[in-house]
Structure 1
């Protein structure tokens, strides 16, 4: 039997913000949008302000974990020197035992593990509160928009911002922020201990950092732009799926299941292709940092070995220095990954704030910027709701008539 030809695909809906307005500073100022990465970062910090006590408490645990982690290489080097000395002196060899020392170091490690546990709990609570607040604000701003917004914006695009983008934002203001602080503290502390142990070796090790930071800046910008495109394409695919599932009866009646599956598949393939390209930049960045970090360790090993043979430093000092080098290399690598994740989160935040900051053409009956949770109160609320109810009651008590003259009607997006 002949099946009817598939209906033409519906016209694609434009994005929330037209492309021409994205590059126009005057248009951005008019709509109240903040597309700058710096502006988005400031907005994220403002959004996380109520959870600063929890975030500060989690950051305070870094004092415990960082101190223990920075002490371990130095103590390990002293153990190595003592063991070498005891091996050459029979009188000391009978008194020296590495097992109690190792047990003591393990106790310090367990203390640091407790700090990591507490930090994880605090960040989890703060992050969930922040993302819940952001989603409430985003949804309130969405429902407050005028009819033209919903004619021009696909529901799947909004749903993508409510789910995937909001989840990315959660990590930026909690886990990634504390991870960046930890990386800075540990890298700085390791560098100080390295210079204290051997300044010449420290110069060799730290000399690889400037190229890494330059690469982080270059790759970070590329990743932010790529990730923004990936999220927009995933939102487009989600919108197509939402459109088909919402009208699945019509699709079944016309027998266009294959056609609609192909439409969604094409959109998903475009998003996956862009994601692969973003992953290529991420892989190149991670590989460059890995080579630079391990190259620094190998340079220290070669140069430090010759210094041990010359008697400039002891074997224990070289052991501790190598541990500090590995510690700094690992944290620099972690900082680079954190920077890339922050760029992804900033791109997601920009998409979320596009709707949060959008001013509807028709003023809504409430202020979405003050939309709070059930357990939160607005300190700026001065009884505006009571005044509104009194005004409505006063109008109901009067018989008024309304006359329309020269009134025309048209949909904003379909004149």
Structure 2
């Protein structure tokens, strides 16, 4: 591979190379962000409505007025759910459009750059590897831009907003919960770095297999003339197996990261809820506040779990973006005077 290609960025910051492709669609990205904020805020209102149901609706006495108030609370919950559904649908369409558009632009730019390279470039870089980057790597980036980033931001807002509302609901329980969760940051960061390295390795193994297949299929008359079909099938199977082993290593680490985050966060929340149940029993916390605290804790746990999965997708996309930007930044050995 040419020196210019191997010298391209390989770090997570390679994702910043996608900014020129995102910049033309700033308006749509801003709209998606506004819809994301609106949807997250709507979701955070649901536990408050449940708190009112527990404290006022179910705690009220009989009579027509109490029944009417209870019906009104349920109608509010339904209205919140319907509004949230519309906002989520609009956000999904907008983000998916941006992801598809950016991926198409990126593929076109990389392909045009490859066509401008000198013959030396094509002697050292196999056609199958270029095709693998234009298809597989670009698809990974499309998944992140068109889905994972939106899910990650939504989960981040859900996590942060849930933490804020936990503090508002019961600051004592929130402080205890926060202290337990701060200790989880270091192991998660260490595992995330290993996952990034394995993601890059996995993408390289897939590209090796695709490059070999492209090389052999382009030279099939020669392969058949020397009756090397069985040998070439064995070589491809060996590279496919190497890709499988690399992918399993990555999947094992990613699964472990997900399990670590979910188990640790849920364990912390369960312990804090046990403390809250003791406060309700002593009368220092209302039943409705504890119910709202439980729902906000569930939102925080769900957001943390989704963030773990999204972080794995971002690590894979970082490797894919680095490989595509290597082609995009490659300089031809022969330039026009």
Could you list the runs of 5+ residues in structure 1 that have no partner in the other structure? Answer: 1-14, 23-27, 366-415
1:282 is the counterpart of 2:254: yes
State the secondary structure of the residue aligned to 1:312.
coil
Counterpart of 2:53 in structure 1 is 79
2:97–2:146 contact (8 Å) kept in structure 1: no
Match of 2:234 among 262, 277, 298: 262
1:131–1:170 contact (8 Å) kept in structure 2: yes
State the secondary structure of the residue aligned to 2:314.
helix
Match of 1:307 among 257, 262, 279: 279
Which residues of 2 match residues 187-198 of structure 1 at below 5 A? 187-198=159-170
Q: Which has the larger radius of gyration?
A: 1
Write the deviation string for residues 141-161 of structure 1: whole angstroms up to 9, x where unpaired: 111111111111111111111
* Rounded Cα–Cα distance in structure 2 between residues aligned with 1:83 and 1:37: 51
Counterpart of 2:142 in structure 1 is 170
| Offset of residue 174 of structure 1 | 4.0
1:58–1:123 contact (8 Å) kept in structure 2: yes
Distance 1:91 1:125, change over 3 A: closer
| Offset of residue 265 of structure 1 | 0.2
1:245 is the counterpart of 2:190: no
More helix by share: 2
* Rounded Cα–Cα distance in structure 2 between residues aligned with 1:303 and 1:364: 73
Could you list the runs of 5+ residues in structure 2 that have no partner in the other structure? Answer: none
Counterpart of 1:406 in structure 2 is none
Counterpart of 1:63 in structure 2 is 37
1:47 is the counterpart of 2:11: no
* Rounded Cα–Cα distance in structure 2 between residues aligned with 1:361 and 1:73: 62
| Offset of residue 100 of structure 1 | 4.4
Counterpart of 1:5 in structure 2 is none
Counterpart of 2:105 in structure 1 is 133
Q: Size of the alignment, in residue pairs?
A: 337
Which residues of 2 match residues 98-247 of structure 1 at below 5 A? 98-247=70-219
Counterpart of 1:36 in structure 2 is 11
Write the deviation string for residues 197-222 of structure 1: whole angstroms up to 9, x where unpaired: 11111112222332333233222211
Write the deviation string for residues 355-392 of structure 1: whole angstroms up to 9, x where unpaired: 11111110159xxxxxxxxxxxxxxxxxxxxxxxxxxx
* Rounded Cα–Cα distance in structure 2 between residues aligned with 1:359 and 1:256: 36
Normalised by the length of structure 2, the TM-score is 0.93
| Offset of residue 91 of structure 1 | 5.0
1:216–1:336 contact (8 Å) kept in structure 2: no
2:144–2:317 contact (8 Å) kept in structure 1: yes
Counterpart of 1:374 in structure 2 is none
Question: Higher relative CO (CA 8 A, sep ≥ 6), structure 1 or 2?
Answer: 2
| Offset of residue 162 of structure 1 | 0.5
* Rounded Cα–Cα distance in structure 2 between residues aligned with 1:195 and 1:162: 47
1:16–1:354 contact (8 Å) kept in structure 2: no
| Offset of residue 53 of structure 1 | 1.3
Counterpart of 1:385 in structure 2 is none
* Rounded Cα–Cα distance in structure 2 between residues aligned with 1:322 and 1:106: 20
Distance 1:93 1:99, change over 3 A: closer
1:190–1:327 contact (8 Å) kept in structure 2: yes
* Rounded Cα–Cα distance in structure 1 between residues aligned with 2:230 and 2:65: 80
Normalised by the length of structure 1, the TM-score is 0.76
Write the deviation string for residues 246-276 of structure 1: whole angstroms up to 9, x where unpaired: 2333333433322111110000000110110
| Offset of residue 17 of structure 1 | 4.8
